[in-house]
Amino acid sequence: MHNMQAILQGPDGNPADLTLVQMAAALRAGLLSSVELVSAFLTRISERNPQIGAFVHVDQQGALAAASAADAAFAEDLDHGPLQGIPVAIKDVIDVAGWPIRWGSSLCEDRIAAQDAPVVEILREQCAVLVGVVATYEMATVGPDASSLYAQPRNPWHADHITGGSSSGSAAAVAGGMVPLALGTDTGGSVRSPAAFCGVVGFKPTFDRFPMEGVMPLSQSLDHIGLLTQTAEDASFAMTAMAGMPVPDGQSEKLRVGFVRNWCDDQTVQYFDKAASDLSLAGASVTLVDLPDYAPLENAACDVLLYEQVRNHWSEISRASDQVGRMLLDTMQAGRGVDDQTYAQGQAVVQDFSRQAEATMAKFDVLILPTTLRPAERFDSFEDGKATWTPMRTIPFNMSGQPAVSVPVGMQDGMPLGLQIVGARHDDMKVLQVAQMFERATDHSCQKPDFRAVELAAFENQ
């Protein structure tokens, strides 16, 4: 409370500098109105978005109207939920009635969503304030691609670097301080990897935790809705609000943490060794554990993803292939080569890994491992539409449907890295509990981009 009041009362006090948890407390304490809060974020969007490019649609009028409604409810002692009056951004694959939800593709350039997705209805029921649409890689697939509908966001830590995807705008908006909460989707790491690259928290809940209706289908076996926030405490708060999940009690027994060191590599392993040490010093019991070789799992999951993606979208893309970006078209062409037998083999690997993961989780409360093995690449690595492999350690947990969160773990060459914390299916809050434990034991989440140093070059189509 003291820090919150200091920010609000300081000479340069800006409510947009509060955490989500602090914002919610300030709103309920009458120290801040939702209109003041939303106005602060709208100002920040106008100042920073031209440099970063996270938002592709801002509903200023609708946001201020929703903020006024939230304030009116507070004035009448009507509490619709923890997110009442809180600004939220929505990824450009999740339907919001009347908004241009275009899947990042010129193929859908004129698309207007007819109705809210159920996950958006959850936000509206709580009187959250929907601010606008944030960018995605085209059809939540690959990028950054200069030939898709709009230019991809720049990383708030350094404008020459990508944000990762496909929830590129969600991560950039949160890391850029333009919104405290953003919804994303995660089919192979599309919430967690951009969170890692942008130095924020990205949480993928248990499979089917949120309904996928009203969300662009990519791969029904792997698709998840997730969320991005500045801190693990904020992610836990948002999940408690959106999913009706109880706040976890204090840990009465020592946490059992399995460290998947065999999924690290020599270039960044020291960051994850240090994270294991930090958790041990915080009271956890940390044990090395091996998971199966990563590459065969990634290959099998990609076969499943591509096969299902082609069946969801090839018919519409094939009729207007000149309206989609080169990267998406190349990916879809590759997916057409995945036959029924290969898909069945991939699904068998998915089932086998899910059984192995369940057996492993019987021995541990959570697993820790890298989110990605490298910080964000530079934009020039993707010139002329060439694909650049970014090594991640995420998609197996889309296969198994386990909850997983990426939290900041340190900086390499001035760019963030992420620690991934994975739990048993349906044990979402345990994952977030350990994330908060790690957050309290370290200062990684306190590090923010220096926006004075963000390049002021015009936002170009990279």
> Which residues are marked as active site?
91, 166, 190
**Distance, CA of 316 to CA of 21 (rounded, Å):** 43
**Distance, CA of 64 to CA of 228 (rounded, Å):** 22
C-beta separation of 325 from 319 below 8 A: no
**Distance, CA of 253 to CA of 430 (rounded, Å):** 13
- Positions of E strands within 140-276: 181-186, 201-204, 224-229, 256-259
C-beta separation of 297 from 353 below 8 A: yes
Pairing of strands 129-134, 55-58: antiparallel
Structure-token match 């006024």, residue found? 68
Listed residue (344, 362, 340, 364) closest to 352, CA to CA:
344
What is the three-class DSSP state of 224?
A: strand
Listed residue (22, 24, 19, 87) closest to 55, CA to CA:
87
**Distance, CA of 263 to CA of 260 (rounded, Å):** 6
C-beta separation of 180 from 174 below 8 A: yes
H/E element, 88: strand 87-91
C-beta separation of 203 from 239 below 8 A: yes
